[in-house]
Homo-oligomer: A and B are copies of this chain.
Amino acid sequence: MSTKRITGPEIEKLIQLLAKVPGLGPRSARRAALHMIKKKNQLMAPLAAALSEAAEKVTVCSVCGNADTVDPCSICTDPRRDGATLIVVEDVADLWALERAGAMNAKYHVLGGTLSPLDGVGPDDLNIRSLVDRVGAEGTSELILAVNATVEGQTTAHYITDQLGDTGVRVTRLAHGVPVGGELDYLDEGTLSAALRSRTSF
């Protein structure tokens, strides 16, 4: 690796920062930078402006934990949403994924992670207390635990259910089964067992 300068320090710095974006490595960051240099007015300048505006305006919804530019967020203030159903997710990315599916018209609650004693993540590090408060204050009738099907996710789900014990809210979880479009041959035993146990009439 040569230490000689081959381009301006501003461009080198841009490449270094681009390499930190998930999905881009050092090599693709260089390619991305060159592409943007060629598309300076169509991509580079607008992206700079969009990043700067987003960095300035982005905020975390104080009600549900969604990322938005207003607080409370667009979902929490949407009058067409069914506020009686709350979907509990680990992360904002999960919220957005469920919204893309468009299957429910509910509101959300972002935990901000899962319980993980080994990593030092306890109940007070997650938005669990605010969830319990919301269920009481908003008169939630159903709480859908859309946490990941991992040990940590399931532990967190159990902890939340315990905390909600006496509120009378109906607590549900996502169905386990064969992914739509999935091939049985490629699925693990746990998923196949769950799909068999939860079989439905055809």
**Shortest CB–CB separation between residue A34 and chain B, in angstroms?**
5
The segment from A37-45, A153-161, A163-171 that touches chain B is A37-45
A8 and B68 contact, Cβ closer than 8 Å, known pairs A23-B28, A32-B21, A54-B37: yes
**If the complex has contacts A6-B74, A10-B57, A17-B43, are A67 and B30 also in contact, measured as CB distance less than 8 A?**
no
Does A75 sit at the interface, judged by CB under 8 A? Answer: yes
B-contacting 9-mer, from A90-98, A125-133, A143-151, A186-194: A90-98
A43 to B18, CA, bound (A): 9
Check if A30 sits within 8 Å of B96, measured CB to CB. yes
Least Cβ–Cβ distance between A15 and chain B, in angstroms: 9
Task: Tell me the chain A residues, 1-56 only, with Cβ under 8 Å from chain B.
Answer: 1-2, 4-11, 13-14, 17-18, 20-24, 28-37, 40, 43-55
Cα A112 to Cα B69 in complex, Å, equals 42
Q: Please, which residues of chain B bring their CB within 8 A of the CB of A4?
A: 75, 78, 80, 99, 102
Inter-chain contacts of A52 with B (CB < 8 A): 45, 48-49, 52
Q: Are B1 and A67 in contact (CB under 8 A)?
A: no
Q: How many residues of A contact B (CB 8 A)?
A: 63
Of chain B, the residue at the smallest CB distance from A33 is: B54
Q: What residues on B are CB-neighbors of A67 within 8 Å? A: 7, 11, 34, 37
What chain B residues lie within 8 Å of A37 (beta carbons)?
54, 58, 67, 92
